[in-house]
Amino acid sequence: MSNYKAPLADMRFVMFDLLRLDAQYARIDGGANATRDVVDAILDEAAKFSETVLAPLNAPGDEQGCTLDKATGAVTTPAGFRDAYKQYVEGGWSGLTAPEAYGGQHLPESIGAPLKEMLDSANLSWGNFPLLSHGATEALRLHGEEWQRVAFLKPIVEGRWTGTMCLTEPHCGSDLGLLKTRAEPDSDGTYRITGTKIFITAGEHDLTENIVHLVLARLPDAPAGVKGISLFIVPKVKVDRSGAMAARNAVSCGAIEHKMGIHASVTCVMNFDGAEGYLIGAPNKGLNAMFTMMNTARLAVGIQGLGLIERAYQGSLAYARERLQGRALSGAKFPDKPADPLIVHPDIRRMLLTQKAFAEGGRALAYYAASLVDLVERAPTPDERKHADELLSFIIPITKALLTEIANECAYHAVQIFGGHGYIHETGMEQIARDARITSIYEGTTGIQALDLLGRKVMQTQGVGLKHFLEEIGAFCHANIANTSVQEFVAPLATSAKQWADLTQEIGKRAAANPDEVGVCAVDYLFCSGYIALAYFWARAVAAADASAQPAQFKQAKLATARFYYARLLPRTLSHAANLRANADTLLAMPDSQFG
């Protein structure tokens, strides 16, 4: 089975050399305690927990899975999961970035990002259990009443309870305007929630004493569509306004989904049979609160993709160094051995470099997004918070979709590098491939992220977030035009940025005449955007490495990987640009009847 070693050197490089987060922490709310020695200690302990506690449970958990007792509705998690969760809570990880007023440590979100990456690399299924507690924390913090924050938020922050998001129903997936779950007001100020939700991550389990479901439902007088959706707090065990637990609520797990991957993560069908709940936020404004959770979850899923890219790369690299297979075309590189290791072969190196370029470039993108979360919430001025919010809204769909799609690609490369051994269970590569597949689907498919990016975050805002990001790229290019360490990347980066701006304008003009153009162009636009964003971070990485005290070998590896990225991965934008400029009729003209 594959082992996992947290890439602490590159994590620290991205945080402190590339993004200069130490300077950001010095001026934001809650950053004073995030001194370098504190952050280093957090990273070291998170690595230890991930490597020694979670990683050994990854393969056994996948084999064992979760089990449902149909008579009681109780779910049992794989052996070792409960103890791992206990250690997670005892280590203070559940409240790392949560508000101090509710038991958290109030550290910046960008410190939570590497923790999450490590958890997901080590054991993606286990990482799903505390995943949505973070989103529930944000929804309660921003939209809940004070008594709700005390009664529900504090136990979640302490890790005694976990949270869920209950959106999808059997007849509707992402089209939430179709949902049918009902909420009937009761005389005591509570509501009775009735309906069925599906695909609920960690909807039932044995890790905590209570589970707080945040459920979308309709009030009796609600208008049709998304304008008639409200959000309710529905705990597994009833909780009164003082926070005291009472009797079991009328909510139960009806089934566990039989999934392609993440077998050790329980995905539930949840039945609400007149369950007691509390309204959170204003009536018919539930989508506002839910999108608070959704944006948090989308960034988190992007980091899941990053974690799997890293895990696939580590397994591939170890195997390519050890496995003897054939001879190099230019002659034996290891004549004392019966064959050369796989790593000498150009196609193996192509796949390894692709994984490495995406892992390290993706890490910069994901941590950058997390640093924007810090600024949105904690920057000292309203203007800076507004600027960061506009940038974050733009970068989240790129981060979520790109990193999860790349995770699937890198898992594919891992299986290829292992050959037949990658296709069997023992090496762990096929588990990565199975686990990665869901990441580009849940919390919004790649197509949904693409429509969000192009339709909402670009067209509806006149491209405000894109303008901010292009300004960053322009400022970097201008500042480094004479920097010999990075000069070779400045011109192609500037050209790509101009291409990005030009494509956006072209699509905007076509969409004004035909709104279908947004749907036709969206996915190619997202990939174009993502590859150019990674090019920006790779250029920054080379400049930061050159200016840093990193070892010479580290700097040389950054330069070589950046050259590979610019020569062999960034040109993918040309294909996507060609698709973007193709006539929409190539997709839309054929009648439905001809698809038979």
Coil, helix or strand at residue 557: helix
Task: Tell whether 549 is covered by a domain.
Answer: yes
Residue 184 has which token pair? 């009937």
Task: Tell whether 202 is covered by a domain.
Answer: no
Element (H, E) at 43: helix 36-49
Distance CA 288, CA 285 (A): 6
- Between strands 191-201 and 182-185, the pairing is antiparallel
Nearest to 567 by CA among 305, 331, 298, 350: 350
Task: Give the per-residue pLDDT at 136.
Answer: 86
Distance CA 107, CA 89 (A): 16
Taking the CB of residue 361, how many other CB atoms lie within 10 A of it? 30
Distance CA 417, CA 124 (A): 22
Residue 181 has which token pair? 């779950």
Task: Tell whether 510 is covered by a domain.
Answer: yes
Residue 121 has which token pair? 């690399």
Task: Tell whether 576 is covered by a domain.
Answer: yes
Domain extent at residue 483: 453-584
Distance of CA 69 to the CA centre of its chain: 31
Among 384, 443, 471, 472, which one carries the catalytic annotation?
Answer: 443
Task: Give the per-residue pLDDT at 214.
Answer: 95
Task: Tell whether 324 is covered by a domain.
Answer: no
Distance CA 465, CA 389 (A): 9
Task: Give the per-residue pLDDT at 82.
Answer: 98
Distance CA 30, CA 552 (A): 35
Report which DSSP code applies to 218.
B
Domain count, the chain: 1
Task: Give the per-residue pLDDT at 173.
Answer: 72
- Residues contacting residue 156 through CB under 8 Å, at least 6 positions apart: 94, 133, 136, 137, 140, 162, 163, 212
Task: Tell whether 568 is covered by a domain.
Answer: yes
Buried b (16+ CB within 10 A) or exposed e, 425-455: eebbbbbbbbbbbbbbebbbbbebbbbbbbe
| 443 catalytic per annotation | yes
Taking the CB of residue 267, how many other CB atoms lie within 10 A of it? 21
Nearest to 230 by CA among 279, 165, 169, 168: 279
DSSP states of 463-525: THHHHHHHHHHHHHHHHTTT-TTTHHHHHHHHHHHHHHHHHHHHHHHHHHH-THHHHHHHHHH
The answer for 103, left when phi > 0, alpha when psi is -120 to 50, beta otherwise, is left
Task: Tell whether 94 is covered by a domain.
Answer: no
Q: Are 493 and 541 in contact (CB under 8 A)?
A: no
Task: Tell whether 564 is covered by a domain.
Answer: yes
Task: Give the per-residue pLDDT at 1.
Answer: 55
- pLDDT tens string, the chain, 596 residues long: the values are 569 999 999 999 999 999 999 999 999 999 999 999 999 999 999 999 999 999 999 999 999 999 999 999 999 999 999 999 999 999 999 999 999 999 999 999 999 999 999 999 999 999 999 998 988 888 899 899 999 999 999 999 999 999 999 999 998 877 777 889 999 999 999 999 999 999 999 999 999 999 999 999 999 999 998 899 999 999 999 999 999 999 999 999 999 999 999 999 999 999 999 999 999 999 999 888 777 777 888 999 999 999 999 999 999 999 999 999 999 999 999 999 999 999 999 999 999 999 999 999 999 999 999 999 999 999 999 999 999 999 999 999 999 999 999 999 999 999 999 999 999 999 999 999 999 999 999 999 999 999 999 999 999 999 999 999 999 999 999 999 999 999 999 999 999 999 999 999 999 999 999 999 999 999 999 999 999 999 999 999 999 999 999 999 999 999 999 999 999 999 999 999 999 999 899 999 999 999 98
Which single residue is written with the structure tokens 């009328």? Answer: 250
Task: Give the per-residue pLDDT at 135.
Answer: 83
